[in-house]
């Protein structure tokens, strides 16, 4: 999906995202926030959207969010202001293929339901590995083709041509986010409801990130 299509899609969905996609994608956010809360430190949310996970981070966690959509970021700003959040370090409009933070800037990086949306997901994954410190965690929640509970395969195939309308690719293969040399997979689980989404947690191993 191209940048213009992404921006158009989320401009349309921003006002109602929480009540539609937000509800069926919340499981991954809960798992990511629980892991970060247990470890503490700083987290970068890549594709923070309307900030659905902001309410789940503990007071000891520093949160930074980036998103390509200005409309989504405005919703996240409203959410943060309404909740009086003190742990938010900043929200930035940014292309995840070129994250404007130095190497090893964060203890954790999370990408909730954006890998099947962004152009060049492998490049986004490499940037996530670059900005997380060695020993830190990279977490991805997403729908991957063929990983959902039985009975969803037909729906996946029917939805595939609607990628630009829906804002995600239903036929996205999990192999596209596996195999990065600096990321060791430590957890993989299907997420409620229906096991439609998959949660992945990686550990950043020692080594030099390619630039």
pTM as predicted: 0.82
Task: Kindly list the structural domains of the chain, giving each domain's residue range(s) and its CATH number in brackets, ordered by start.
Answer: 3-204 (3.40.50.150)
If you count DSSP H runs as helices and E runs as strands, how many of each does the chain have, helices first? Answer: 7, 7
pLDDT tens-digit map of 63-86: 999 999 898 899 999 989 988 888
pLDDT tens-digit map of 157-195: 544 444 444 455 567 889 999 999 999 999 999 887 666
Cβ atoms of 151 and 180 closer than 8 Å: no
């Amino acid at each position: 999906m191209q940048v213009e299509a992404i921006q158009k899609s989320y401009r349309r969905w921003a006002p109602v995202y929480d009540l539609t996609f937000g509800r069926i994608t919340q499981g991954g956010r809960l798992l990511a926030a629980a892991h970060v809360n247990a470890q503490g430190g700083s987290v970068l949310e890549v594709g923070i959207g309307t900030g659905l996970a902001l309410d789940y981070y503990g007071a000891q966690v520093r949160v930074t969010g980036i998103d390509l959509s200005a409309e989504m970021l405005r919703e996240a700003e409203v959410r943060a202001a309404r909740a009086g959040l003190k742990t938010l370090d900043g929200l930035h409009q940014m292309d995840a293929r070129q994250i404007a933070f130095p190497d090893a800037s964060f203890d954790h990086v999370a990408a909730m339901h954006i890998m099947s949306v962004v152009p060049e997901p492998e490049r986004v994954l490499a940037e996530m590995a670059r900005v997380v410190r060695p020993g830190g965690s990279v977490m991805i929640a997403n729908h991957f083709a063929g990983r959902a509970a039985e009975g969803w395969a037909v729906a996946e195939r029917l939805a595939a041509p609607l990628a630009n309308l829906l804002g995600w690719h239903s036929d996205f293969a999990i192999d596209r986010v596996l195999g990065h040399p600096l990321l060791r997979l430590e957890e993989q689980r299907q997420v409620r409801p229906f096991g439609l989404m998959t949660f992945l947690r990686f550990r950043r191993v020692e080594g030099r990130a390619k630039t």
